[in-house]
Amino acid sequence: MSNHGSDPYRSSRNTRSPGPPMQRSDRNGRSRSPYGNSIGQTYPSDPYAPHQQYAHSTVSSSNHHSGTPKRQHRRPNDHSYQSRKTNSTTTSSMYQDGDPLPSYAAPQQRNEEGMGFLPHDNIVMDMDDSIPLHTKEATKSPDTPMDVRKRRRCCCRIGCKKLVAIAFVFIALVVLVWYFVWPRAFEMDLSTVGLYGNSTNQFTTTDNQITRFQTQWNVSMVADNKDNWVPTHVASLELGIFDHDTGIKIANASTGSFVLNAKALKPITFVATIDFLRGTNAPTMDDLIKSCAPQPDQKTQASLNLLFQVTYHISGFIWSYQTQSTSAYFLCPQ
């Protein structure tokens, strides 16, 4: 019996190895000859080394005539091939059909005799998922400076920082212009009050003890536009004269439209018409009679406590401003 048949640990498989022919010839540390199919050096103690005999083959006519060195090609002898086939069949009969063979893929499986991992010449190691899959993150190319600049552009091909700076400058300009252009209420200072034209102070008393006071006053005031940086377009000014003690209105006046220059002083004249009707014993009428009516006994003229209220109507604005000035010792014009 040959060495193959007497080895109880050698197993042979009838399946064809998935590896290339080069792997079958390179097992057990033997290398192929670069000039033919001859095997390397073998030793008698190697139980797995096949004993092969090769016969000399004739050299082709092309190599003979071309002058190239002759190479001896060996091919296996028929007798040796049949002997190996018989030994392989005898060895494979040692395993039952249902017994699983040891495998590299499942070395943890052991048979009943305690046998586990056995070396096989024709098994190729599996290399599953040795190369990582390409993901979007792995294949994504790094951003270039041009891509970063394009991404930072917010609107109209302008960068975000530049856009914020432009917005800040625009808001600052709007606030600055608003500060200088926005109209402010100018001051009105009372100057003089006199009778308008040929007007006189007239008091008329009816049978019902009702007294009526009629006259026209020429009220002069000065407009001071020092708080405005631009000219102020005034639609109209309304003047109201009140008794400061009782809060009753006794006269009113108004002006037309005009333009008040910036940082300028301008005199404003109101023609106030008084047509006041009250009972003789009313506090306001009593004050007017004591101050404005002629005194036959040449007594000292009494003063009035009046409130002058001016309402501003500036062009382009729907709201209005008001200023007030008080004259606690106003002497009625005679």
Q: What is the per-residue pLDDT for 239?
A: 95
Per residue in 143-191, pLDDT tens?
566 555 555 556 666 777 888 888 899 999 999 988 888 888 888 999 9
Q: How far apart are the first and last CA of the chain?
A: 162
Q: What is the per-residue pLDDT for 14?
A: 53
187-330: which CATH topology?
Immunoglobulin-like (2.60.40)
Q: What is the per-residue pLDDT for 215?
A: 94
Q: Which bin fits 232, alpha (ψ -120 to 50), beta or left (φ > 0)?
A: beta
Per residue in 78-124, pLDDT tens?
445 454 544 444 444 454 555 555 555 555 555 444 444 445 444 44
For residues 90 and 11, the answer to whether their CB atoms sit within 8 Å is: no
Residues of the chain with pLDDT under 70: 1-157, 297-299
Q: What is the per-residue pLDDT for 134?
A: 52
Residue 93's SS3 state is coil
Residue 78's SS3 state is helix
| pTM score of the predicted model | 0.51
Residue 226's SS3 state is coil
Report domain extents, the chain: 1-130, 145-181, 187-330
Q: What is the per-residue pLDDT for 234?
A: 92
What contacts 36, CB < 8 A, 6 or more positions away? 71, 72, 73, 74
For residues 202 and 213, the answer to whether their CB atoms sit within 8 Å is: yes
| Structure-token pair, residue 283 | 């506090």
What contacts 226, CB < 8 A, 6 or more positions away? 186, 187, 263
